[in-house]
Each structure stands twice: as structure tokens, then as C-alpha cells.
Amino acid sequence: MSAQTPFLVFSGTNSRYLAEKICNSLGCPLGQMNIQHFADGEFAVSYEESIRGRDVFLVQSTFPNSDNLMELLLMIDAAKRASAHSVIAVIPYFGWARQDRKDKPRVSIGAKLIADMLSTAGIDRLITMDLHADQIQGFFNVPVDHLYASSIFLDYIKTSLPLDNLCIATPDVGGTKRASSYSKYLGLPMVICHKSRLRANEVAEMRIIGDVKGLDVLLIDDMVDTAGTITKAANLMLENGAKSVRAIASHAVMSDPASTRVDQSALTEMIFTDSIPYAKKCEKVKVLSVADMFAEAIRRVCSGESISSLYTI
């Protein structure tokens, strides 16, 4: 990389596909790094070029398994010890974010623990996208740039979906604020699915609050894990007279049997971003890239510009 470039971009193993797209958008090469694996599963990180005095951006989503998080922590530590001017963690998908509070006695708050680990390792800033809960930003004592995939999704909605007959929906009450933002911005009606759970990843009962008869429904969510909730909501919409049902979600966690459920559901289409790599075969899934958005955020952080204009809603 040119000596004039004040920043360097590096990537962990499983987020390299996205880091390469970000670097293409920035017009810079991806930094050289070596991650050595040992027979017992331990690994070591080393930078293969000087990073002294540079702003270092480390691209790594912390999706399962936990090796991705550990890799990032080692990358941060190595950068601090190599005298980087600043270390900025770029985490498109922030894992453990569902553990954001004590919802019953004697449980951990995983999101706070991860924030503490990243801070202790030595990050100077965090750039992330569509946190499961906005208050997680407050778990950090460093600046957090919280990006939203809405600008990418809204472009797709306006150009690809039947706006004249569209209805925004949320698969659970917790996503009401998110869905309401889309509804108000687009001037479209909104309905809510109310669900109750027997246990994690298992929906016991679901009902619709609102009328979807004759409408094209668009379900809005931040992530899809086993796809139990969103496919149940889609099927329920169709049973209640919806003309068609599509869904958008920022993060494609898609644990088994999610792809099968989406394929067999009433969903016409399922749209994700590439914050998490999705390699499974599912004809209904469409992936939109967030690389340009993250590249622009990195450029603005380096130049000291505001990033608020990147937010549509």
C-alpha cells in the first residue's frame, strides 16, 4: 500500500470476502496478515507489513463460531503492540447482541461482556451495523458509528417491489420501532405479529394485529437465525388473505434448518445483506452488499467528516 495512505484495512479469515469488496470501493489493497493455526485449535496473528503510526481498520463480523471473535481480539492486540496510531474494529454483524439485558435471574449480559473484551483489547472506535438493541452502543466508552442497512433496503424496495399495494409488517413486537420507521418513510400501512415463545428459537403462538387482506406484505427484521418466527409470520399473513409475502433482514445468521424453512414457506423472497457470509443454496434468498456503505464510513472517519448523511432512516 502507498506510504501516503494514512489508513490500512485488514480482515479476519471469515470476513475476507467483505473486506475485499470494501477495499475495492476504497481503491486500496487489503492489508497483508498471517493467521497461523496450531494442531490444538489455537491460532496466532501477525501483520506482514508495518502499521506503525497508521489508522488500522479491522474487518471481522463476530458470527458463530467464537473463533471469529477470538481472531478479532488477537488482531486488535497485535495492532496495539505494533504501534498503530488507532485501531478501529469494523464489525458488520455484532454477535451476542441478543444478550443485552437480564431477562431472568442469574444470566449473563453477553453484549456487555463482548464490549468490555473489545475495549480491553484496545479498540479506539467501533463501526457496526443494525445492532439487535440500540442501547448496546452505551456499553462502549469509545465512539460507536452505528450504520443502518435501511438505505440499501429502501433502494431495493423502491425499485423492485409493488409500492402501490405494499404493507410493512414486523414478525414480533420487539421490531415495531424498526418497521414503523420504514412505514413512515414510505407512507405505507403497518401490521404487527404478536408471538409468545415456549423457549428460545421456538414460537408457541402468533397472531396478526392489523389487516393484510389483498396486500403485498414486507416483513422487516434485523436478523434471521432458525427462520422459525419469520416463516411462521409469512405463512400466517398468507392465511389471513395477503397477496404475497416477502422479508428483509440485515443479518443472515441462518442456522439449520433455516434455509429449508424459507424454501418451504409462503415467502416469495428473502433479502439479506452480506454482513455474514451466506453460502447455502436457497433460491428465495437474495443478498445485497453493504461494502460501499462501510467503505464510505471508513473514508469519512479518516477525513473527519460526518457520517450522519449515510442514515436514511
Residue 246 to residue 218: CA distance in whole angstroms: 5
Buried b / exposed e along 31-47 (16+ C-beta atoms within 10 A): bebeeeeeeeeeeebeb
- CATH: 3.30.230.10, 2.102.10.10, 3.40.50.2020, 3.40.50.1360. Which one for 148-287? 3.40.50.2020
Active-site residue, selected from the candidate residues 112, 158, 195, 232: 195
Q: Considering only CA atoms, which of 192, 193, 245, 187 is closest in space to residue 214?
A: 245
Domain ranges, ordered by start, for the chain: 5-146, 148-287
Q: Is 195 among the residues known to form the active site?
A: yes
- C-alpha closest to that of 143 among 311, 297, 313: 297
| Residue 227 grid cell | 427462520
Cell 443494525 found at? 130
The CATH architecture assigned to 5-146 reads: 3-Layer(aba) Sandwich (3.40)
Q: State how far the alpha carbon of 218 is from the alpha carbons of 7, 156, 164, 213, 296, in Å.
A: 40, 12, 13, 13, 28
Q: What is the pLDDT of residues 283-307, one digit of tens each?
A: 999 999 999 999 999 999 999 999 9
- Positions of the chain with pLDDT lower than 50, given as ranges: 1-3
Task: Write down the pLDDT at residue 24.
Answer: 98
User: Which percentage of the chain shows pLDDT scores above 90?
Assistant: 87
Q: How far is CA 213 from CA 77, 171, 245, 247, 283, in A?
A: 55, 17, 12, 17, 26
- Cell representation of residue 291: 461494502
Q: Which of 305, 306, 302, 294 is nearest to 5 (CA)?
A: 302
Position 250 scores a pLDDT of 97
* 237/224 Cα distance (integer angstroms): 18
Residue 2: predicted pLDDT? 43
- At 202, list the grid cell: 421456538
pTM confidence score: 0.94
Whether 5-146 shares its CATH topology with 148-287 is answered yes
Cα dist from 279 to 17, 117, 254, 290, 293, whole Å: 12, 29, 10, 17, 22
Per-residue model confidence as pLDDT tens digits over 80-117:
999 999 999 999 999 999 999 998 999 999 999 999 99
Work out the number of other CB atoms within 10 angstroms of the CB of residue 121.
18
In this structure, how many other beta carbons lie within 10 angstroms of the beta carbon of residue 151? 15
